Amino acid sequence: MEIRIFETEAGVDKAAADYVAARITEKKGFVLGLPTGGTPEGMYAKLVDKVNKGELSFKGITTFNLDEYAGYKGDEPQAYLRFMKEHLFDHVDIEEGAYNVPNMSGDTTEKEATYGYENKIAGKGGIDLMVLGMGGNGHIGFNEPGTPFGLGVHRVELTEKTRQDNSRFFASIDDVPTAAITMGIRSIMNCRSLIMIVKGSAKAKVLAQALSGPVTEDIPASVLQLHPQAIIFADKEAASCL
Ligand code: F6R
């Protein structure tokens, strides 16, 4: 595992965007995995800049997002699909239907939302590069501490900690959904390469545990130690306990 440390958050955003931009042009039909959250916003802004300047194109690229709240159609203010449209998809030349976000709304059954999503990823030949953020308790996707490493795409009940962390995007904690559909650790480890972006001192301790402690389901991000092609992009605050 490689760790790249940058002075500032902006430095992380630029480096991550440059890395993703270089990778997605490396082969035709590149398949990219994407996260939502505060962490990747800066990287998405830089990718949009590159497209606007004519330096990058998303034509021919397929994307798969990590997760979505269960029951969300995608147009709710906090929906991850809406986030992705606002931060990336509506501002780049990605083709209609080429971006995918898990969906378990309306009549969609849990099986369709989980196995269906997994089959769609497999149908595209798997994910070439997955971009991850990390939660304050070491979660990746919505894989909370204690989630078995063997799970593929699945429905998950959210922990109180994650609901608290995410409540900043809602009017109150009561409005935060209690369940989500997420790629599991098995889905993440199946990606051919991964980057994880981590910023800020609040995540420093858990990042150090994840990267230098034992590989344990108690700290989901620690599994990245076992991935042959994983790079961590961190600012110096997040890296301060390494
Ligand atoms: C979001 C996701 C989550 C976030 C994590 C960090 O799609 O998969 O694991 O990456 O909760 O969130 P932020 O970046 O808001 O600190």
For position 166, what pLDDT does the model report? Answer: 86
The Cα–Cα gap between 65 and 182 comes to 9
- Considering the chain, what is the average pLDDT of its residues? 96
Which ligand 1 atom sits closest to the C-alpha of 65?
A: 7
Decide: 33 in ligand 1 pocket, CB within 6 A: no
Hey, whose CA ends up nearest to atom 9 of ligand 1?
141
DSSP letter at 202 equals: G
- Helical ranges in the chain per DSSP H: 9-24, 41-52, 80-87, 110-123, 160-166, 185-189, 204-212
At 5-61, the pLDDT tens digits run: 999 999 999 999 999 999 999 999 999 999 999 999 999 999 999 999 999 999 999
Judge whether residue 202 has pLDDT over 90. yes
CA–CA dist 133, 141 (Å, integer): 8
Ligand 1: residue of 80, 139, 144 to mutate (most ligand atoms within 8 A of CB) is 139
Residues in CB range of 121: below 8 A, 6 or more apart = 31, 64, 127, 187
Whether residue 140 has its Cβ less than 6 Å from ligand 1: yes
Share of the chain above pLDDT 90, in %: 95
Residues with catalytic annotation? 67, 137, 139, 144
